[in-house]
Each structure stands twice: as structure tokens, then as C-alpha cells.
Structure 1
Amino acid sequence: MNLLDQLSGGAGAEDRARCSRKGCRVDAEWQLLWNNPKIHTPERRKIWLACGDHRGWLEEYLQVRSLWKETLPLAGSAGTESDTQ
């Protein structure tokens, strides 16, 4: 697998949702919805993915900056509800 395939989603790209915490390669279990009111419309939601170990750290990071909106289980992840929205 090469870098261009990973970036473009081409052949060989991973189809697994990974935690957004820098350096973490663990499968994601949570989706953290956020937006930056300085640049996004109020209804827009950006999503970071989190594993169980980094959920709290990522939530706190967004909350301190007044960006966090809500955290939902990631559909189909182990140990979470399958219907998220």
C-alpha cells in the first residue's frame, strides 16, 4: 500500500475507522461532533473519531475551545449501539 492510495481512498486504502488522536491506530468506537462557530454555519458538524481510551481526551480538547457539540457511538463498532442517528 502506498501513500497516494491511502490519501485518495484508492486500492489498498484501509476501510476501518481509526481514532483521530495523533499516533493512535486503534479502531474507533465513538464519533465526536463539533463545529467552529467562527468559520462554520451553526448546523454544520465536523466529526472526529475516537477509541475508548482517547474519547475523554478528545472531548476535553474540543470542550475547552467551545467546539464540542455531542458524542455518539460509531455505528457497527464493537461494544456500542449500532443505531447512532
Structure 2
Amino acid sequence: MTTDETACSAKGCTAPAQWELLWNNPKLHTPDRRKTWLACDDHKASLSDFLGARGFLKDVVSHR
């Protein structure tokens, strides 16, 4: 079991995070600000697609 700080951000998922999805909402955040969602391998694509469709996704990096 993982702690909330290292678990995937997908609703109901408690799998350990393998990825950091770095994003910002340009209507709310300065261009250099990055918020982070964590993703397991199973949810990396769906969370990336959700953020990407809104133009929020900036980068995806390995979570260490």
C-alpha cells in the first residue's frame, strides 16, 4: 500500500506512482508554474489525455 503522497492521482487508484504529469492552467497560473499529478503506468495515458485535451499538459517525467 502507498501513501496518498505517492499514489496515482486517478480517482480510486492506490497504485504507486511511476510518472509525474506537470501541468498548468494558463488562465490561473503564470507560465513557469507547474502543478503535478502523479500517475501509475495504467493511468498515465488517460490522465495525460485529459490534461492535454485542455492544453494544460507541459511535461511527463519519471517519478523517483
Category of TM-score, reference length = shorter chain: over 0.9
For 1:50 and 1:44, how far apart are their aligned partners in 2?
19
Q: Runs of 5+ in structure 2 lacking a partner?
A: none
Aligned-pair identity (%) = 50
For 1:15 and 1:55, how far apart are their aligned partners in 2?
17
The alpha carbon displacement at 1:70 in A equals 0.5
Give the TM-score of the pair, scaled to structure 2: 0.92
CA RMSD of aligned residues (A): 1.2
**Per-residue Cα deviation, 1:58-81 (whole angstroms, up to 9, x for no partner):** 000000000000000001xxxxxx
Give the TM-score of the pair, scaled to structure 1: 0.70
Which one has the largest radius of gyration?
Answer: 1
For 1:39 and 1:16, how far apart are their aligned partners in 2?
24
For 1:56 and 1:16, how far apart are their aligned partners in 2?
20
Q: Runs of 5+ in structure 1 lacking a partner?
A: 1-13, 76-85
Structure whose residues are more often strand by fraction? 2
Structure 1 pair 39–29 and aligned structure 2 pair: CA distance change class (3 A): same
> Bigger relative contact order, structure 1 or 2, given CA contacts below 8 A and separation 6+?
2
**Per-residue Cα deviation, 1:22-54 (whole angstroms, up to 9, x for no partner):** 000000000000000000000000000000000
Structural mapping, 1:16-27, within 5 Å:
17-27=6-16
Q: Would you identify which runs of 4 or more consecutive aligned residues in structure 1 move more than 6 Å? A: none
